[in-house]
Amino acid sequence: MTRWMQFQLFWRSFFLQAGWNFAKYQNLGLAFVMTPFLRSVYKQDKNDLPSVLERYLESFNTQPMMASFCFGALARQEERMAQAKTLAEYRERLSEWNSLKRSLSITTASLGDRLFWGTLKPFTLLLALFIWLALNINFFEPTPQRGLSCLDVFGACIVVFFAFNAVALFVKWKGISLSYDAPNNGCFGLTQFDWNKTIYNTKLFGMLLALGLLLGGLYYFLHDLASFLGLQFITRAIIVLFFVSISLMTRDLRIPNMYLYIAAMLVFNIVYLF
Amino acid sequence: MTQVLLICIVGALLELDTTYAFQFTLSRGIIAGPLLSLITGDLMAGLQIGIFTELIFIDISPLGGLLPPSAAVCCTLSLALCSLGIPTYFAFFFGVIGSVLFSVCEVIVRKNRSQWLTRQEHIILKRPPYLSFVVVKALGISFTMTLAFLLFYSAVMGSSFARLLPFLPEKLHLASKFAYMAVPWIGLATLVSIFRLKTR
């Protein structure tokens, strides 16, 4: 695959989910991403393109950042199909293509969800919160402080943006060539990275950061109160303890945070009113 | 009103980043909130709403066909309501409710899109270059529908609540502030459990 073709797949991969729907998920996006490659493979037989596109318009769903592994592997298999000499060989490769599309999309979705949504997104959030606390920005108060500079606010945003996208774009770009060039027994380039170790180490570091932030936040929330036995201190300490323990308990019951907040809003309003 | 319109247009563009195009995470609360606050001029309110949005939705990920409430929509609605003079603690609550409603609307849109796409696929198979046009059309429809929702919700909620606001007893303000103050602690405790080591 040429660099230009890899770039075209990479660029179009940003629109993989453009037509996301509940019947065939990312089918429109997959066909859109693969079109330049299919055109180059079938440039001698342009009449074949609609029937090939029909296969790509079948159901497809995976994690968008890890989808690049599917693009490379499908491109490689498509080339093999175009080179088939007999009908039996073509049918065999077509069946391989179908099972590859199904199995690889499930594997990459599972890895991508854990890596990007389950680990990297909360990790970069922690990073931003740490930067803002270090800059002395108090985001805990309901009436926030005024007079912030753009640099204070956007510095952490830029760090988060680049930290997340550096990993995402690297995986998107590298995944295409790795899976395209992978040998037949190479698991489509997926084994080039130790995904489990990466996720484990990031989670370990994230756990320490999260605990540090919880304690740091607690200190920040309470340290400037005049007396440890004052009403304001006790009220704040009760709020923190109550919601932290409720939040930890509801994790096991799988109750989302937003319902907890909506419930708190309703209960407090009813209690205060009556 | 011009400010609300501008916030909604930028919010609808940011919402495309959530699913349909790019996914550069510009639609995350901690980025969308401060970005939108450049329009309102209150950077701290944007930052706080952004952080709170991210913390409140951090435990729901877009896995499989699951559609979590949109952080970009929540920030847009909260800041649009703030710019209409509604206090942050009320605006955020209506922002959260609005984003939950938006995800319900989005499910309906995605179900109907399947039928629309089936019709488009027949044309694509006859004329393959039409595929790029369908992608652009899908993005355009998503943007328009999001913008319509944001404008409608901000206008209805903003005007009705702004009229109600002077008659609300002080106790309701206190109670809402109290619940708003709980958001970062609910979120931070969730972060600890998110990083529980289950892998390897």
Burial class of residue A30 in the structure, from the number of CB atoms within 10 Å of its CB (0-12 exposed, 13-18 middle, 19+ buried): buried
pLDDT tens-place string over residues B156-179: 999 999 999 999 999 999 999 989
Question: Which pLDDT score is estimated for B200?
Answer: 42
Asked if B23's CB is within 8 angstroms of A14's CB, the reply is yes
Question: Which pLDDT score is estimated for A25?
Answer: 94
Instruction: Tell me: pLDDT of B20 over 50.
Output: yes
**Residue from B101, B102, B85, B9 nearest B45 by CA:** B85
The domain limits of chain B are 2-194
How many residues can be counted in chain B?
200
Is the predicted ipTM greater than 0.90, yes or no? yes
Chain B residue numbers with beta carbons less than 8 Å from the beta carbon of A203 are: 195-197, 199
* Interface probe with A: pick from B23, B77, B139, B167, most Cβ of A within 10 Å: B23
pTM (predicted TM-score): 0.94
**Residue from A190, A193, A196, A191 nearest A72 by CA:** A190
* A206 in Cβ contact with B199 (< 8 Å): no
Question: Which pLDDT score is estimated for B1?
Answer: 82
Chain A residue numbers with beta carbons less than 8 Å from the beta carbon of B31 are: 157, 160-161
pLDDT bucket at B14, cuts 50 / 70 / 90: very high
Note down pLDDT in tens along chain A; length 274 residues. 899 999 999 999 999 999 999 999 999 999 999 999 999 999 888 788 999 999 999 999 999 999 999 999 999 999 999 999 999 999 999 999 999 999 999 999 999 999 999 999 999 999 999 999 888 888 887 766 667 788 889 999 999 999 999 999 999 999 999 999 988 766 888 888 888 899 999 999 999 998 888 888 888 777 766 556 677 777 778 878 888 888 888 887 888 999 999 999 999 999 988 8
Question: Which pLDDT score is estimated for A45?
Answer: 82
How many Å lie between the alpha carbon of A2 and the closest alpha carbon of chain B?
22
How many Å lie between the alpha carbon of A72 and the closest alpha carbon of chain B?
19
Query: Six-digit token pair at A121?
Result: 């997104």
pLDDT tens-place string over residues B27-43: 999 999 999 999 999 99
Query: Six-digit token pair at B139?
Result: 């993005």
* Interface probe with B: pick from A10, A13, A21, most Cβ of B within 10 Å: A21
Q: List the single residue in B34, B131, B184 with the smallest CB-CB distance to A154.
A: B34
Asked if A213's CB is within 8 angstroms of B191's CB, the reply is yes
pLDDT tens-place string over residues B61-103: 887 778 899 999 999 999 999 999 999 999 999 999 999 999 9
Query: Six-digit token pair at B66?
Result: 């699951």
Q: List the single residue in B37, B125, B181 with the smallest CB-CB distance to A142.
A: B181
Our CA dihedral for B120, B124, B127, B130, rounded to 10 degrees, sits at 70
CA pair distance A210, A130, nearest whole angstrom: 10
Q: Which of A34-38, A135-139, B48-52, B105-109 has the lowest mean pLDDT?
A: A135-139
